[in-house]
Structure 1
Amino acid sequence: MPTDRTTLAILYMLLSILLFDGMGLIIKFLSPSYGAAELSAYRNLVGLIPAGIVLWRSTAWHTAGRQIGMRQWRLGLLRGVILTFAQYFFYLSLGLLSFATTTSISYSNALFAVALAVPLLGEKVGYVRWAAVGIGFVGVVMITGPTRDGFTLAALLPLGAAFCYALVAVTARMVDDDVPTPLINLYSSGVAAIGALILALSTTGFTPLHAATDLLWIAAMGTLGGSAVLILITAYRMADQSDLAPFTYFGIPIAFVLGWVFFDEAPWGELFPGVLLIIAGGLLIIWRERRLRVRA
């Protein structure tokens, strides 16, 4: 039954959110001992394994003759470079801000995606979606608090990450339709792994392991992130994106609970009511895009 597949896809979506948050918790736990760039490098190197698995399991890739080359290879490389900085900004912010605050601000990527689609894809965005973007960004400003006494530039890091993640998503739609999605993902993951290595060597370098257990944490970080990608791709293959997108915002309360349980963080004053405006803006965009799709 289609409804059953959609329900299962939603459960997969929620599981992927938990796994991504688990990866984030490990990154935050390791941040005092290791730099954001080296953690990103470890994550990307391990992430090549699920990226390769997804590509090998892709029917479209096998049907196309298992080609590795892309006509738009420069765009593929550029997306990997952007992804490198997206991850670096996000990992760095996890070590400097509360877990829930970083996660909540990162959800503004949906707002950036709408704004970027206008110059990059030539999309026409109506007043409803622009209003949604405006509502969401008011929420972002309220959380980052540029006028608060305790404001630091670190609050802009997850915002930069959200912008870069949105740019990666929008540019994916610029790739030729006949290129399998897993191949696009492999290009991004491969370049991001190389980029993270270069970034790590040019900034903090690679820190010797403080304890043997840290190697297990690093392996778990990569495994959780890689598994989350596999499950997320599976979910989007089982149901329409418009059916799944609203459930991504469950990641915000989940992140709040996890941050409270594992790091004793409860940033009520930072998050509310700004986080509600981010969610409202994102859901309004999803609702409007779904209405437009139905009309088409």
Structure 2
Amino acid sequence: MSVPPKIPRMDNTAAAVAAILFSVAALSLGDAIIKAISVDIPLWQLYVLRSLFVLPVLAAMVGLKAGTVRLIPRKALWTALRSLLLVAMWVAYYASLPHLQLSLAAAAYYTSPLFITLFSAGLAGERVGARRWFAIALGFAGVVVMLRPDAQGFDAWALLPVAAAVCYALAMILTRTRCRDEDPLILSMALNIAFILVGGIASLVLLQMDLSADRVAVNPFLFGGWTDLGGMSWAALAILGAAMLVGSVFAAIAYQTGAASTVSAFDYSYLAFSAIWGLLFFAEMPDLLTVTGMAMIATAGIIAARSRPAVQAA
């Protein structure tokens, strides 16, 4: 009996949009949970515990693909650098959450596509067209509007999500140029191993430093030592893990089901969901300048996403 030909998967725009909306709702909820528990669980403890839960799942998934997955990355040093950049990204972003409105932190972080476009031109040799240069300028203008550097309301903590966006963009450039042949499961395992190593080392360093209570009070989430977790904290970690899992799965479904340019445009609904969770959980209400800056960044990202990718320079 002959094998029937494989039918190509057709795009389903409605399903893709629904999937990405569900994804960003879950992921933004996860960020809201992290902001909420940041007063009880230090960042480094969160890193270690979360990755200790994730690694066995990843190991089981690798085991199911036994014989088809290369356990040692082909480019181990580049993979390690990529992992460290992503760890730095999460350190910068999460460290900002106790000090910023959730919507402001999310908007500043969502400049990452603009940095990817910028670094693609400078580091990956891609030519960037006029529309994408306009998008970069518009997005960075949106950041300036939000951060209002000449106003008394400027908050230096808002620079951390921008730094996170830079780290993420560099990691994605490495993924495309140096790690594109690595198995995604191995990249994920490398990242979680990096989380455990960095979290463990940072915890030991803080233990040896024996910081004063006043110093820890500047950012308990970043400088605090490990704590005993109660039932509510474990429940929050479980919900966080589920939100991260659901978000990543539905993001993959969205990009498999619909055109990337369409899906990435709706990805910016993350900013709206962040504002909603911020209002519901923390009674945060973005002011007019913050909303204006968010709109400028979202518009810039959509323009960059819908512009035709540049041809790689020779």
Q: Mean Cα displacement is larger for which, 185-194 or 247-256?
A: 185-194
Task: Kindly indicate whether the alpha-carbon contact (under 8 Å) linking 1:139 and 1:273 is maintained by their aligned counterparts in 2.
Answer: yes
Q: Who is 2:38 aligned against?
A: 31
Q: Who is 1:251 aligned against?
A: 270
| 1:284 is the counterpart of 2:308 | no
Q: Who is 1:165 aligned against?
A: 168
Task: Kindly indicate whether the alpha-carbon contact (under 8 Å) linking 1:108 and 1:159 is maintained by their aligned counterparts in 2.
Answer: yes
Which of 130, 138, 144 matches 2:133? 130
| 1:179 is the counterpart of 2:214 | no
Which of 2, 26, 40 matches 2:10? 2
Rate the CA distance shift 1:282–1:37 in 2: closer, same or farther, 3 A. same
Rate the CA distance shift 1:241–1:270 in 2: closer, same or farther, 3 A. same
Structure 2 spans left out of the alignment, 5+ residues:
1-8, 207-222
The total of aligned residue pairs comes to: 287
Task: Kindly indicate whether the alpha-carbon contact (under 8 Å) linking 1:41 and 1:200 is maintained by their aligned counterparts in 2.
Answer: no
Higher helix share: 1
RMSD: 2.4
Rate the CA distance shift 1:241–1:65 in 2: closer, same or farther, 3 A. same
Give the counterpart letter for 1:39 in structure 2: L
Q: How many Å apart are 1:50 and its aligned residue?
A: 5.4
| Residue correspondence of structure 1 range 225-240 to structure 2 within 5 A | 225-240=244-259
Rate the CA distance shift 1:45–1:144 in 2: closer, same or farther, 3 A. farther
Identity %: 24
SS at match of 2:69: coil
Q: Who is 1:209 aligned against?
A: 228
Give the counterpart letter for 1:217 in structure 2: A
Structure 1 spans left out of the alignment, 5+ residues:
none
Rate the CA distance shift 1:176–1:102 in 2: closer, same or farther, 3 A. closer
Give the counterpart letter for 2:231 in structure 1: A
TM-score, scaled to structure 2: 0.82
Distance (whole Å) between structure 2 residues aligned to residue 227 and residue 202 of structure 1: 34
| 1:110 is the counterpart of 2:110 | no
Give the counterpart letter for 2:100 in structure 1: L
TM-score, scaled to structure 1: 0.87
Task: Kindly indicate whether the alpha-carbon contact (under 8 Å) linking 1:43 and 1:225 is maintained by their aligned counterparts in 2.
Answer: no
Q: Who is 1:45 aligned against?
A: 52
Which structure has the larger Rg? 2
Q: How many Å apart are 1:278 and its aligned residue?
A: 0.5
Which of 69, 75, 78 matches 2:81? 78
Q: Deviations over 1:34-76 (max 9, x none)?
A: 323333333333343554566567xxx66x7322112211111
